[in-house]
Amino acid sequence: MDKELSETTNSMAPTEQDIVKLGKDMERMETNSEIARSGMVPDPKQ
């Protein structure tokens, strides 16, 4: 794969290890529905 393309394609998680870590972090995050049920206001849609 072209180095320049590789660097820009995965800017949020550039390595496979980072992708796995990010996935685990995302699994632990509450959904907007869960946040609303707890009485808090979820982030607005962007």
Distance CA 33, CA 29 (A): 12
* pLDDT exceeds cutoff 80 at 31: yes
Does 22 map to a domain?
yes
* pLDDT exceeds cutoff 70 at 29: yes
Give the tokens for residue 8: 């820009």
Lookup result for tokens 């550039």: 14
Does 7 map to a domain?
yes
pLDDT at 44: 85
CB 32 within 8 A of CB 40: no
Does 19 map to a domain?
yes
Whole-prediction pTM: 0.52
pLDDT at 43: 85
CB 26 within 8 A of CB 19: no
Does 13 map to a domain?
yes
First to last CA, the chain: 32
Domain enclosing residue 10, as ranges = 3-37
Question: How many separate domains does the chain show?
Answer: 1
* pLDDT exceeds cutoff 80 at 21: yes
